Amino acid sequence: MLVTGCAGFIGSHVAAALLRRGTRVVGIDNFDPFYARSIKERNLDRVRGALAGDDRRFELIEGDLCDASVVRRALEGNAIASVIHLAAKAGVRPSVEDPPAYANANVLATSLLLHHAATAGVKRCVVASSSSVYGNCATVPFHEELDVGEPISPYAATKRACELLGYTHWHLTRMPTAMLRFFTVFGPGQRPDLAINLFMRKAVKREPITLYGSLDSSRDYTFIDDIVVGVLSALDRVDRFGYRVWNLGGAAPVTLRELVESIGAVTGTPLNVSQGPSRPGDVERTFASLKRARAELDFAPSVPLLKGLAAQWEWMKTQAS
């Protein structure tokens, strides 16, 4: 099994879960400087912690998926049957500053990976997409059949491009490919640029927080353990579907106002917030329809926001110490 983005937030949790169920994992990551390498090294401790002493079941390749020779070596040298592709430059706002870097890391890397995976005889791919592909869709909840032709950030556009590449590869090679639209993922290990992690760190230091956009904007948050279950379910079932897009969300959107209050309640420190303008690329709301994922993946998110925030807060306290 090849897991790309293995040193990242979601990749490290997915790799650990695979190791716990006995799978041999080859991870690949280029330690993109989007956030500190030291955080990614700690993510890898999570992966190695799942090895139960058998180090031979995990190998990390430090390399860039935009380099075809790295991709080929990873696939062919390890007789890979399945690929879980989670590597990407993530984050909506930075993508507005540097669209070409996102096109490179996300679209080129995915194109190379799908091409060489099919050539190397890989049997299936599961690929991370994003709720951001829905843009400011007027229909809620967002379901997989909606027209997603109007992404409003370069990041979202690259994720949609990856979905299209996935379909094309499926059409040409019949390599079953799942595209998973994750809705804001949180929990222990969450990326440091994401709101909950950022707000909790500010709460510890009692620093002021600027909220960008309306307090009534809303997000559908998904706890990391639920995402891992969804990823593994897609891996186990995608062969029956060929090419398939699935939403993986919490299906319980909360407003920015509610999020701030909930974090204040969990940390015991009401947040010191001020209001800033909305930022280009940010969508007004996200809200996953889980009808398809429930029916086809048995996906049923089980961790509500407050419980997940408490788990993330416990983890953040261990990081601070």
Ligand X SMILES: NC(=O)c1ccc[n+]([C@@H]2O[C@H](COP(=O)([O-])OP(=O)(O)OC[C@H]3O[C@@H](n4cnc5c(N)ncnc54)[C@H](O)[C@@H]3O)[C@@H](O)[C@H]2O)c1
The single residue among 2, 3, 8, 308 that binds ligand X, judged by CB under 6 A, is 8
Using the contact rule CB under 6 A, the part of the chain among 52-60, 75-83, 140-148, 183-191 near ligand X is 183-191
User: With binding defined as CB under 6 A, does residue 301 bind ligand X?
Assistant: no
Cα separation, 200 vs 185, whole angstroms = 15
Residue whose structure tokens are 């990856």: 162
The single residue among 130, 197, 233, 262 that binds ligand X, judged by CB under 6 A, is 130
Count interface residues toward ligand X (CB under 6 A).
30
Helix 9-20 crosses helix 224-237 at what angle (to 10 degrees)?
Answer: 60
User: With binding defined as CB under 6 A, does residue 286 bind ligand X?
Assistant: no
Q: Does residue 189 come out as left (phi exceeding 0), alpha (psi in the -120 to 50 range) or beta?
A: left
Return the active site residues: 155
Tell which residue, 127, 130, 187, has the closest CA to residue 153: 130
The smaller minimum CB distance to ligand X, of residues 258 and 269, is found at 258
The single residue among 1, 2, 3, 10 that binds ligand X, judged by CB under 6 A, is 10
State the residue number with the nearest CB to ligand X: 8
User: With binding defined as CB under 6 A, does residue 25 bind ligand X?
Assistant: no
CB of 247 to ligand X, least distance (A): 11
Using the contact rule CB under 6 A, the part of the chain among 81-89, 116-124, 133-141, 300-308 near ligand X is 81-89
The smaller minimum CB distance to ligand X, of residues 89 and 202, is found at 89
User: With binding defined as CB under 6 A, does residue 178 bind ligand X?
Assistant: no
Strands (E), the chain: 2-4, 25-29, 58-62, 82-85, 124-130, 177-182, 185-186, 209-212, 218-219, 222-223, 243-248, 254-255, 273-276
Angle among Cα 209, 286, 197 to the nearest 5 degrees reads: 35
Which residues in 30-49 contact ligand X (CB under 6 A)?
30-32, 34, 40
Length of the chain: 321
Site string for ligand X, 91-120 (x = CB under 6 A): --------------x---x-----------
User: With binding defined as CB under 6 A, does residue 74 bind ligand X?
Assistant: no
Helix 195-205 crosses helix 256-267 at what angle (to 10 degrees)?
Answer: 40
The single residue among 102, 134, 170, 182 that binds ligand X, judged by CB under 6 A, is 182
- What's the token pair of residue 206? 């009692």
Q: Does residue 281 come out as left (phi exceeding 0), alpha (psi in the -120 to 50 range) or beta?
A: left
Positions touching ligand X (CB under 6 A) are: 4-5, 7-11, 28-32, 34, 40, 64-66, 86-90, 105, 109, 128, 130, 182, 184-185, 191
